[in-house]
Amino acid sequence: MFSRLLLALIICAFVLSETFTGVNGQKACFSKIYCFTVSMPPSNANASANYVTFTMTAPSTVGWFGMGLGDGMVGSYLIIAWPNSDNTITISQRKATEHAEPSTTNQQSDLILDPSSGVQNGQMVAIIKRAVTVSGSTITTSGKQSFVWAYSTVNPESKQANASLTQHLNRGSTSIQLMTSSEQLDSSNPTNASTSVDYGGNYVSLESGLTSDQKLVIAHGALMCSAFLLTMPTGIFMARFARNILPNSWFPLHVGIQFFGTTFLAILGYIMIQIQNGDWNSPYLNDHTIIGSIVFFGLLGQLVLGIIHHKLFRSDRGYIPWWTKLHW
């Protein structure tokens, strides 16, 4: 029992370590070290100066780092950057029509890489300008703008904008209340946001609440931790230690807790993360999803073994069958 509880603790710590995405000061930061800043043009800017500046920072060891305008990977306007061996930066404008590698667009000239971009002091810094409106994409200049982000530790090993990219290691979404430098916050209409000034001197109001995407991930983590840290150990305790204390009720309690408690919570947690992924047929494969899937289907296997053990149990047997040993 204690070894299973320890395993559950390790799994839950892994789940929660992957859950939280936050905002840090002037930047929207994810996994603590992957950040981007959005600098809006003044509201009175003329057409030739109506550019938004994106500053993307990541460790120089990053494979690639991307952000996009939209609330999901599919259909969003994506800006992807990666460092090269000569300390230069390659940027690529892409768009995805499905949960697969996004394709480069024929509008690469929309993005302007600032000459100061590069790898400095162990950091990849990509400063990218783009017009507020380009073909197929318009940035909200005053109001809430949805963003997606992703990164990988595998470098494309090419300076070409259409280089092949490996699947992201992590990804998520957020929203930022964008404001031009000439706008002021209305103190008589407070919102659930914190305001800061970005590198360009323009106000960027970062929403402090959780996005629906983040809420689903947290719900997934909470449900899985409840299943493997609370109900599963309780059900095991009933079977291993409560036989003499509750001779007539330990078995129905064991079955009820494991089936209606552990299994139900785990299935609900699985459904939550599938809703968050947005695509039941194209799961995101990484260490978390692989380990989680093994544990989840292992739980279902234990449920089947328990049913077999109950159906084939004989009090006069002279040996312990393999399915019973596996269920233990």
Instruction: Give the model's pLDDT for residue 7.
Output: 53
* Total H helices, total E strands in the chain: 7, 17
- What fold characterizes domain 33-209? Immunoglobulin-like (2.60.40)
> What digits encode the pLDDT tens for the residues 23-58?
332 467 776 678 888 888 776 555 556 888 999 999
Instruction: Give the model's pLDDT for residue 48.
Output: 53
Instruction: Give the model's pLDDT for residue 43.
Output: 64
Which of helix, strand or coil describes residue 248?
coil
The series of mean pLDDT values per 10 residues for the chain, 328 residues long, is 51 46 49 80 63 90 91 87 93 88 92 93 92 86 81 93 89 75 40 34 41 74 90 86 84 87 90 68 63 86 80 71 71
Instruction: Give the model's pLDDT for residue 47.
Output: 52
Instruction: Give the model's pLDDT for residue 31.
Output: 66
> pTM value?
0.56
Where exactly are the structural domains of the chain? 2-12+214-327, 33-209
Instruction: Give the model's pLDDT for residue 280.
Output: 47
Beta bridge partners of 23: 28
In the chain, the percentage of residues whose pLDDT exceeds 70 is: 72
Give the burial class of 107: count Cβ atoms within 10 A of its Cβ; 0-12 exposed, 13-18 middle, 19 or more buried: middle
Rg of the chain in Å (alpha carbons): 25
Distance CA 259, CA 163 (A): 49
Instruction: Give the model's pLDDT for residue 20.
Output: 36
